Amino acid sequence: MADLSVNIAGVEFKNPIIAASGTIGFGHEYSEFYPLEELGGISCKGITLKERLGNPPPRIAETPSGMLNAVGLQNPGVEHFIEKDLPWLREQNTVIIANVAGSTQEDYCKMAERLSDTDIDMIELNISCPNVKEGGVQFGTSCESVGAITKAVRKYCKKPLIVKLSPNVSDIASIAKAAEAEGADALSLINTLTGMRIDINTRRPIIRNITGGMSGPAVFPVAVRMVWQVANAVDIPIIGMGGITTWKDAVEMLMAGADALQIGTALFTDPYSPVKIRQGLNDYLDRNGMKSVTELTGTVITG
Amino acid sequence: MKYDARPCPLVKKTQLTDTIFDFRILNKELAEIAKPGQFVHIRVPGKTLRRPISICDINGSEFRLVFEVRGEGTDILSQTEVGGEVDMIAPLGNGFKIEPDQRTVFIGGGIGVPPMLYAAKQSNNAVTITGFRDKSAVILEKDFKSIDEHILMTDNGSAGRQGFVTEALKDVIGNADMVCACGPMVMLRGVAEIARQAGVPCQISLEERMACGVGACLGCAVLVNREDGTQGYKHVCKNGPVFNAEEVVF
């Protein structure tokens, strides 16, 4: 039995498998499949200062080896999260990451300040949601804007700060460096790739929002490439995600430079996938005589 | 644990029309807790998303699922052979609330017909109305006839009466206590309006593109009137698929 624990920015995870924001809500539903303590952590559904209703349906479309979503950050607001969801989550014996999104820099700062007074473990700054008109990804696509919002939030954030990066950029390594320079404790990547599908019978986009965020196995090679690029550019820990579906994908993502992993869309195909991935990862380490999962990180040989 | 995803054997398979299949899937434990109007969420080999399929009937330990091949996913599913397995999360969602002795009208349109079968079987005082495009699309006629009073409608009159299900509903709404319906949105809107005018409560089963199936991802949104007078989204998988018609914003 290998040691699966990892330490990300001072926070101890019993294993590197974290449920990705937006796919597991606040954990209640998937806790009806297995105890959430099986997971290293949960990144909660993106929350905003006030309740958001989200986008009109359809919000979902399937794509070859993946899917599009445009939920549009439907959530009950940060106060509801703190009062109704957090006390229950805290009892689940897993790391709790609050994923925060906003329309303005002020929103992000207010939420970071408010959540710093709670017993969440980490804050993940969502500056990469492609499905809202204001805010979200507009903060995440240039070095200047990523640097500015990281710097601003850092002043209010007393918790370890993860900045979640968008893949819809030309040079993700530079953006990662900008976040690191302004005080990010860790990075998570990739958020979804903006995509679109059209119903050929109606000539209308399948998703009412027209475009949506693409996820699933189809984006995995893009995610591996970006994690590798960012790992070569920064010294802070990286949480790799994007289409991880099997334990082999998990091993690959760690080799590319990830210190921990998030699993999202795979939950929809198989709710047990995070548990199976954890087990497969453990078996791989044992077979290869590795004592700790940390021995895998960044071990890709490119020379 | 409330939920489980498990492979269940396909024990019988029948093709009802060019595009509609009838699967009998065995799982005693899950069949015993399944309620009318609930659905199952089926994994399709090679596909990222599961396919939500309504429960047509429960016979002892068997789920009866009647579904239409609409795209690649349901096409792959339809090719499952008897003896093979179907991986499903079941049963899911909130079904119809049926008072057995109330005079209840059960209405199904097109591929919305199957879930009305198990629902109508719970009633001792049922009128069932099914509607189809034409004779070639008619399914489950014998099953519905065997329950109680049954009215078959087709758009062109090639089987049963000519016309929409809403016309048949107008004939029977007078002495109804409850209406339960599943079908295309335009049909449900018409059914809900007739029920509203008659002052009869109405439950409708909705469909929406779905991902997780359990209420976590918030994909399958439906706009509803909320208790505080505002509008917001509920979710077909967890809050539905059956909703009170007056709650839904058409």
HSE, side-chain direction, 13 A CA sphere, residue B181: 30
Chain B residues closer than 8 Å to A57 by CB: 208-209, 220-223, 233
Q: Taking residues B205-217, what's their average pLDDT?
A: 96
Q: Say which amino acid occupies B184.
A: P
Judged by a CB distance cut-off of 8 A, whether residue B47 touches chain A is yes
Q: So what's the pLDDT on residue B4? A: 86
User: Is the C-alpha dihedral spanning A191, A194, A198, A203 positive or negative?
Assistant: positive
pLDDT class of A134 with cuts at 50, 70, 90? low
Reported as a pLDDT band with limits 50, 70 and 90, residue A99 is very high
Counting residues of chain B whose pLDDT is more than 90, the rounded percentage is 96
Q: Is the pLDDT of residue B84 over 80?
A: yes
Q: How far is CA A206 from CA A129, A193, A216, B52, B107, in A?
A: 19, 17, 18, 18, 28
Rounded average pLDDT over A279-296: 98
pLDDT band at A132 (very low <50, low <70, confident <90, very high): confident
Q: Under an 8 A CB cutoff, do A272 and B5 touch?
A: yes
Backbone angles phi, psi at B152, to 5 degrees: -105, 130
Q: Is the pLDDT of residue A303 over 90?
A: no
The whole-number average pLDDT for the span B92-112 is: 97
What pLDDT does residue A275 have? Answer: 97
User: Six-digit token pair at B210?
Assistant: 């779905």
Judged against a pLDDT cut of 80, whether residue B148 lies above it is answered with yes
Rounded distance, CA B74 to CA B106, Å? Answer: 26
* Cβ neighbours of A54 in B, within 8 Å: 218, 221, 233
Is a pLDDT exceeding 90 seen at residue B1?
no
Domains recognised in chain A with CATH numbers: 6-295 (3.20.20.70)
Chain B residue with the nearest C-alpha to that of A73: B218
Mean pLDDT for B88-109 is 97
State whether residue B221 sits within 8 Å of chain A by CB.
yes
Structure tokens at B116: 């009305």
A44 has a pLDDT exceeding 70 = yes
Q: Residue A138's pLDDT band (boundaries 50, 70, 90)? A: confident
pLDDT at B199 over 90: yes
Paired sense of beta strands B20-26 and B39-42, if any: unpaired
Task: Considering only the beta carbons, identify the residue of B1, B213, B238 that sits closest to A34.
Answer: B1
Partner-chain contact B209 A58, CB within 8 Å: yes
Q: Which residues of B touch A62 (CB under 8 A)?
A: 47-49, 73
pLDDT at A284 over 80: yes
First to last CA, chain A: 31
Annotated domain spans of chain B: 5-92, 96-205, 206-250
Residues B2-34 as b/e (b if ≥16 CB within 10 A, e otherwise) read: ebbbeebebeebeebeeebbbbbbbbeebbeeb
Position B100 confidence tier, pLDDT thresholds 50, 70, 90: very high
The CATH classification number of B96-205 equals 3.40.50.80
pLDDT band for B2, please (50, 70, 90 cuts).
confident
Q: Is a pLDDT exceeding 70 seen at residue B82?
A: yes
pLDDT band at A165 (very low <50, low <70, confident <90, very high): very high
pLDDT (0 to 100) of residue B27: 95
Chain B residues whose beta carbon lies within 8 Å of the beta carbon of residue A80 = none
Per-residue pLDDT band for A253 (boundaries 50, 70, 90) equals very high
- Please calculate the CA angle A53-A55-A60 and round it to the nearest 5 degrees: 125
Q: Is A181 helix (H, G, I), strand (E, B) or coil?
A: helix
Contact call for residues B159 and B181 (beta carbons, < 8 A)? no
Distance CA B181, CA B167 (A): 14
Average pLDDT over residues B130-150: 95
Catalytic residue among A109, A129, A143, A157: A129
A143 has catalytic annotation: no
Q: How confident is the model at residue A133 (pLDDT cuts 50, 70, 90)?
A: low
What's the mean pLDDT when you consider all of chain B? 96
**Chain B closest-CA separation from residue A151 CA (Å):** 31
- Is the pLDDT reported for residue A43 higher than 90? yes
Can you give the pLDDT at residue A135? 66
Q: What is the mean pLDDT of residues A131-143?
A: 78
Q: Is B5's CB within 8 Å of A265's CB?
A: no
| A65 → chain B, closest CA residue | B48
Class of domain B5-92: mainly beta
Q: Which CATH number fits domain B206-250: 2.30.110.10, 2.10.240.10, 2.40.50.140, 3.40.50.2020?
A: 2.10.240.10
Give the confidence band of A204 by pLDDT, cuts at 50, 70, 90: very high
Is the pLDDT reported for residue B52 higher than 70?
A: yes
Chain A residue nearest residue B51, CA to CA: A269
Residue A84: band (very low, low, confident or very high) from pLDDT cuts 50, 70, 90: very high
Of the pLDDT bands very low, low, confident and very high (cuts 50, 70, 90), residue A131 is confident
Q: Where are the alpha helices (DSSP H) in chain A?
A: 78-80, 86-90, 105-116, 143-156, 172-181, 220-231, 247-256, 266-269, 273-287
HSE (side-chain half, CA atoms, 13 Å) at B89:
29
